């Protein structure tokens, strides 16, 4: 392929990878597995283009020599390769975690995500400075479309082959790519928090759960009060965007039962679950029957790291929906989509 065709294909594939990578964080049910297939096919398509891109880079260095100008493209290339290699590492093996100073344990998928986000600014600058003068046919011509489809088909074939080989390389994964860790071990499963959310240590005698908002009869429950309602037990899978999942037996109070006692007003459309840290997630009022305010896991009282006194269990949702240290349930007339797709807290 020509240098222009290679560069345009890489540009299109990186856009697909960014969109599908972010989109994969939003998928919690098997219906969305195509997002993960698309991301895997796009990544392996980029691998197929490395040979062509390397020749382009080598010609550029041979023509211009090395100097200060070469630092920026070298950094961009290193990030690009880091993203690809960390993604391949995760896809091929990726079990376990890396000890990282000032962080704790980082799984390869987290490293892949960090490097991918770090790649965006220099890549955007590179595109602005080096964008080739080209007609729309550079994207829309039959030849360009066939090239991109051929590369994409190769990437898809490789990704499906890798998926078929994965059970022989290591333990099977969920459709999200997450690997099983510490299922049915109660509080022994991994502890992670979203972004800067800090672990809370809350004394049960000082904790209160408030159910308010668009309701006729607001509630305020202490810890003994929520334990008295904790008569439900459910098996649910917690699938963390950090690349692991665990299946546990959770017990606690059904959210729908609390809402029935509070009597939502006509026009109420959503319920917002709020943590002691200020972290929150909003759900449709009709989804409340699937949500559980858990007080125990595996027959053990929740640990502080897992959200004591109460955490939300949200089957079919990724881990960042499972709000820890719940202190408030707010019924609202706002629709469930009135929140950022990924939390910003």
- 253-265 pLDDT, tens digit per residue, is 999 999 999 999 9
Nearest to 290 by CA among 273, 312, 307, 311: 312
Does the predicted model carry a pTM greater than 0.95? no
The per-residue pLDDT for 313 is 97
Other Cβ atoms less than 10 A from the Cβ of 321: the count is 20
pLDDT above 60 (res 39): yes
* Res. 318 pLDDT band, cuts 50 70 90: very high
Distance CA 61, CA 39 (A): 31
Parallel, antiparallel, or unpaired for β 98-100 and 300-301?
unpaired
The per-residue pLDDT for 311 is 97
Query: 93 by DSSP, 3-state: which?
Result: coil
The per-residue pLDDT for 207 is 96
pLDDT above 80 (res 147): no
Cis peptide before 314 (omega within 30 of 0): no
Distance CA 178, CA 30 (A): 13
Q: Report the interhelical angle of 71-92 vs 108-130 (nearest 10°).
A: 150
The per-residue pLDDT for 59 is 81
The per-residue pLDDT for 196 is 72
Domains of the chain with CATH codes: 3-180 (no CATH), 186-332 (3.90.420.10)
- 155-195 pLDDT, tens digit per residue, is 666 666 665 655 544 556 888 888 899 999 999 999 988 87
Instruction: Please tell me what DSSP assigns to residue 85.
Output: H
Distance CA 199, CA 193 (A): 8
């Amino acid at each position: 392929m020509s240098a222009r065709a290679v560069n345009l294909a890489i540009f299109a594939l990186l856009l697909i990878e960014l969109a599908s990578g972010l989109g994969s964080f939003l998928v919690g049910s098997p219906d969305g597995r195509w997002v993960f297939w698309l991301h895997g096919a796009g990544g392996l398509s980029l691998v197929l283009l490395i040979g062509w891109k390397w020749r382009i880079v080598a010609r550029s260095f041979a023509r211009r020599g090395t100097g200060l100008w070469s630092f920026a493209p070298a950094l961009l290339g290193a990030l690009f390769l880091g993203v690809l290699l960390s993604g391949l590492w995760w896809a091929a093996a990726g079990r376990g975690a890396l000890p990282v100073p000032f962080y704790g344990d980082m799984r390869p998928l987290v490293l892949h995500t960090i490097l991918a986000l770090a790649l965006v600014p220099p890549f955007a600058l590179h595109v602005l400075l080096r964008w080739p003068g080209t007609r729309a046919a550079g994207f829309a011509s039959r030849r360009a479309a066939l090239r991109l489809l051929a590369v994409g088909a190769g990437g898809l074939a490789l990704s499906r082959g890798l998926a078929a080989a994965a059970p022989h390389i290591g333990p099977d994964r969920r459709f999200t790519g997450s690997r099983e860790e510490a299922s049915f071990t109660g509080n022994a499963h991994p502890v992670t928090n979203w972004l800067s959310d800090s672990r809370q240590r809350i004394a049960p005698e000082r904790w209160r759960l408030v159910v308010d908002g668009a309701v006729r009869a607001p509630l305020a429950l202490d810890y003994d009060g929520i334990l008295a309602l904790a008569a439900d037990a459910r098996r649910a899978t917690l699938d963390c965007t950090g690349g692991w999942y665990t299946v546990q037996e959770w017990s606690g109070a059904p959210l729908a039962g609390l809402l029935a006692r509070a009597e939502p007003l006509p026009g109420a459309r959503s319920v917002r679950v709020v943590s002691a840290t200020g972290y929150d997630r909003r759900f449709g009022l009709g989804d409340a029957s699937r949500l559980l305010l858990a007080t125990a896991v595996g027959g053990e009282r929740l640990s502080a790291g897992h959200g004591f006194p109460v955490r939300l269990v949200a089957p079919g949702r990724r881990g960042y929906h499972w709000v820890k240290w719940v202190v408030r349930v707010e019924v609202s007339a706002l629709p469930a989509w009135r929140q950022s797709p990924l939390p910003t807290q």
